[in-house]
Amino acid sequence: MLPRHRFSISIFALVVLGAGLLGSPAPLALSFEGGKQMVDNERVTVWDVIWPSDRSTPIQRNTTDTVLVALTDGPMRVVDLTGAERSVTRKIGDVRFLLKGDGQREESAGAGIPHDIVIELKDARVAPLANTSKYPDAFPRPGSKKVLENDRVVAWDYTWTPGVATPMHFHDKDVVVTYLETGELASTSPDGQVQNNPHYFGFTKWNTRDRVHTETLVKGKGRAIIVELK
């Protein structure tokens, strides 16, 4: 499991001006002081976030649409911009979507401290590729469960079976993958080249579109939330 660093959050601070101008760099979105930034590119910024227990932390408005993937389960409180509170019980792997302009803080309502992967969706959009391969799209696939879909993303909950290869498939979309188990996957391309990819609980990575491969769980366990970007 990833280290759990306590930190204060300065949420949704826009630090680069000129967003939307041709040739301008993509703006950074959230700034989590003391948090762990896992991915940052023109489409997303991804953070490993453990929410602080200090209730004096101000809640600020999201500057981006945001996807949250739960890394802890159990009861918690959600406090919105108005200060209104609600109690929820969640499971590891639950996926939520927050609209730009919303804002919230998560608080412990038991022994566990809320811990999320936070995926900020930047304004840059890339249309899915046409699948001209002879293989099916990566999703849906047998055993996959769609857990979220809107005009920005589609998210899948998928568990690999040890020793059983997935169908050879084509990725038409960029994806953010958050692993919920520890193990190792062997990725095999159509020409037979194999690359072994170890993963651990909470490990989150960016994979670009235009890939064809099959995957086999060769060690440990394999479950992930795969967020495809539209």
Q: What is the DSSP letter of 137?
A: B
* Domain boundaries along the sequence of the chain: 1-124, 145-229
Exposure letters 110-141 (e unless 16+ CB within 10 A, then b): eeebbbbbbbbbbeeeeeeeeeeeeeebbbee
As a whole number of angstroms, the distance between CA 41 and CA 88 comes to 32
pLDDT of residue 31: 53
**Which CATH architecture describes the domain 145-229?**
Sandwich (2.60)
User: Per the confidence metrics, is the pTM higher than 0.75?
Assistant: yes
What's the CATH number for 1-124? 2.60.120.10
pLDDT of residue 185: 98
Please state, as a whole number, how many other Cβ atoms lie within 10 Å of the Cβ of residue 215: 20
- Is 119:222 a contact under the CB 8 Å cutoff? no
Q: Give the residues of the chain that fall short of pLDDT 50.
A: 1-30
pLDDT of residue 56: 67
